[in-house]
Chain A
Amino acid sequence: MLANSNAIILTPSPSVSDTARWWRAFHGAWQADWRERRRDWRVWLVLGLGMLLALCAGLQSALHLQSTQQARAVAAQAESERWAHQGEKNPHTAAHYGVYVFKPLSTLAALDPGVEKYVGSSVWLEAHKQNEFVHRPALDEPGASRQLQLTPALLLQVLAPIAMVFLGFGLFAAERERGMLPTLRVNAAPLGALGAARAVVLICLALAIALPACLAVVLVHRHGIAAQPFADAGARLVLLVLGYVLYLGTWASLIAAVSAWSPTSRASLGALIGIWALLTLVVPRAAVELAQHAAPLPTMQQFRERVDAALGSPHDPGEEERQQQELLRQYKVDKVSDLPVNWSGISLARGEDHGNRVFDAHYGDLFARLQRQSDAIAAAGWLSPAVAVAGLSGAAAGSDTASHIDFIRSAEQQRRLIQTTLNNAITRNPERNGQRYLGDRALWEAIPPFRFRFAPLDWSLLLLRQLLPLAALFCAALGLALLGVRHLREGSLR
């Protein structure tokens, strides 16, 4: 037998509480994981590509935000001046002269443009008509840029998870492959702490990928010219950050779970790529298709034809005559021209009321269908965290369909206010000696300028449609990850 020439003292580990041990293990695993990743060129490659894309997305969004805010501010000012300086004219002529109003663009919408590019940014307010929105950036874009709309939101919702998959598929599967599990098990390594530390590193790397985009937008925001159209901008920002952290946390948990259950790194990578494609590409697309099937929308031509048909057929053809006779009796005169009020104004107001009822019915139906579509899509958020976070992100940024409908309603209220003010002015001023009343700048400026502010977030709706599904999916993924850790601790070593 060999002689013992190298005595070593066996020293038992000092006893520490389980909590302290867990945190020390977490810290150790965190530190070791950072060190390993810092020394791995593949991490730098993924991170570099991701950050480059984020920088492009951020710059694109930030520059678009800046130019759009400037353009809309200039256009709104020009419209305001055009309206105020239109000169003396009959108020109804002014009502047809019309005015454009512009949708305000928030900094958050630069992070997540949502439906902004497709729904139009301005509308012409005129008598008798609720016009469609115009100036849709998507229509002005060349085909190539329609293929890939790179935005910070897309980066976080779609690209960050796949980057996390590439960086984290071996989170536990590699331990199994390199034969580390027996050592970890016999040393009672807190695998939960190990997994949590590595998951947090993954989330940090994913957030680092999106960082350049966020910085570019924040920079433009600081030098921005437009006031934020939110009363609750802070809450929206917090919601956005928490939503994405929860989303990336869901992915980190999912990656840990799949990696823990997979026999090899290759199997883990294959499964995770499949899950990524399913959750970020297939389910969101399928949800949109199913929603369109569940609540189909008329084509714009069909919709316009129905509105025009309804406008052309008054629901009570005798109403005008009865109203005129009642007015003549009220003022005890025989002819309309002897009335102390201008019949034209009253008639125009009645026409507007009829139009308003038609618009309320048709647009109401259209908005209800859009709402049902949004509800159907939100339901898919119980299956896919990408759907849930996209809804949350759009709502927080004020760039979702519901926010746009709010703006349409607000613009329509402004149109009705203009028409009411102008028609009232006509009504108050009957023709004198064949001379029609002419409105002037005082009348034009009596109409308050249009200033849209988004309604505060509806937290109960957000909770029901996005936060609960997202939280539920996070908990489910976390549960799977914990089961995976148990499997590592107690299951087969292979």
Chain B
Amino acid sequence: MIEIDNLTKRYATHTAVDGLNLHVAAGEVYALLGPNGAGKSTTIGCLLGFVTPDSGTIRLAGSTLPPAQAAVRHAAYISENVALYDKLTGVENVEFFMRLLGERPSRRHIESLLARAGLPPHAWHRLSQGYSKGMRQKVGIVMALAKGARVLVLDEPTSGLDPEASVSFGELILSLADEGAAVLMATHDLFRAQELAHRCGMLVAGHLISEWNLGELNAGELERNYLDTLAVRV
């Protein structure tokens, strides 16, 4: 579903991503770990067409289209802070995005999506300016659902979420993966990565220096591996 081969991106004298190879299969959740400045956001930017790479190839859902066009067709993006229109309710925000996608959703349909995403009914018709971060993330998931995206790209999705919201968000992501979506998640949260991801990779200074199958590690081992790898590299 997500195939990144030999991806390189340079900014002036700084190489943000250097020959990155990364594959995420359908139904798989992949956690991209790494310290600040490791190249995670640049990788996501290249994947979604926000940033033009210097070399390498990117294929989403097998498409040979340029990343920007392939992302439009196949991907959904949920950032650390899901941006919503504050003066619109949750239902109206989703309705707006669905209309931008060319759909004409009924209120009932939107409400059912919000219910499935776990947004409490009392919040559906409240202005989103009062939403917590967890509620915003759920609306973000609904937007991805509405698009029917086969590739989900998440940038620090659980940062700042309380444990309950984080668990709830994780369940949603897993359910999407179970339905066949490929999920690439950039995160610092080792605990959440351990819980959600099938595999994870460690990016340092633009290089993917380690990959682990998380079914074979426990939380402690992941953290130890992470710190050891980082110490060796630094």
The yes or no answer to B227 lying at the interface (CB within 8 A) is: no
| Chain A, Cβ-Cβ closest to B180 | A10
Taking residues whose C-beta sits less than 8 angstroms from the other chain, chain B's interface range is 35 or more
Q: How far is the CA of A494 from the CA of B197 in the complex (A)?
A: 30
The yes or no answer to B119 lying at the interface (CB within 8 A) is: no
The yes or no answer to B222 lying at the interface (CB within 8 A) is: no
Query: How many chain A residues touch B (Cβ–Cβ < 8 Å)?
Result: 45
The yes or no answer to B147 lying at the interface (CB within 8 A) is: yes
Residues of A near B79 (CB, < 8 A) are 179, 182-183
The yes or no answer to A16 lying at the interface (CB within 8 A) is: yes
| Chain A, Cβ-Cβ closest to B215 | A1
The yes or no answer to B125 lying at the interface (CB within 8 A) is: no
The yes or no answer to B221 lying at the interface (CB within 8 A) is: no
The yes or no answer to A194 lying at the interface (CB within 8 A) is: yes
Which residues in chain B, 188-210, are within 8 Å of chain A measured between CB atoms? 195-198
User: B83 contacts which of A21, A27, A36, A178 (Cβ < 8 Å)?
Assistant: A178
Q: Is the interface of A mostly helix, strand, loop or mixed?
A: loop
Residues of A near B159 (CB, < 8 A) are none
Q: Are B87 and A35 neighbours in the complex by a CB distance under 8 Å? A: yes
Per-position contact with B for A154-189: 1 when CB-CB < 8 Å, else 0? 000000000000000000000000111011111111
User: A187 contacts which of B127, B143, B214 (Cβ < 8 Å)?
Assistant: B143
B171 to chain A, nearest CB (A): 5
Q: Are A16 and B85 neighbours in the complex by a CB distance under 8 Å? A: no
Q: How far is the CA of A239 from the CA of B109 in the complex (A)?
A: 47
User: B100 contacts which of A2, A25, A179 (Cβ < 8 Å)?
Assistant: A25
The yes or no answer to B30 lying at the interface (CB within 8 A) is: no
Stretch at the interface among B2-10, B12-20, B32-40, B90-98: B90-98
Residues of B near A28 (CB, < 8 A) are 95-96, 98-100
User: A24 contacts which of B104, B143, B146 (Cβ < 8 Å)?
Assistant: B104
Q: How far is the CA of A37 from the CA of B103 in the complex (A)?
A: 23
Which residues in chain A, 29-44, are within 8 Å of chain B measured between CB atoms? 29, 31-32, 35-37, 39-40
Residues of A near B103 (CB, < 8 A) are 13-14, 16, 24
A185 to chain B, nearest CB (A): 7
Q: Are A7 and B92 neighbours in the complex by a CB distance under 8 Å? A: no
The yes or no answer to A20 lying at the interface (CB within 8 A) is: yes
Q: Are B96 and A29 neighbours in the complex by a CB distance under 8 Å? A: yes
Q: Interface on A for B, CB 8 Å cutoff? A: 1-14, 16, 20-21, 24-25, 27-29, 31-32, 35-37, 39-40, 178-180, 182-190, 193-194, 490, 493
A-B contact pairs, 17 of them (CB 8 A): A1-B174, A1-B195, A1-B198, A3-B174, A4-B174, A7-B178, A12-B148, A24-B99, A25-B101, A28-B100, A32-B88, A178-B83, A179-B81, A183-B140, A185-B72, A186-B71, A189-B101
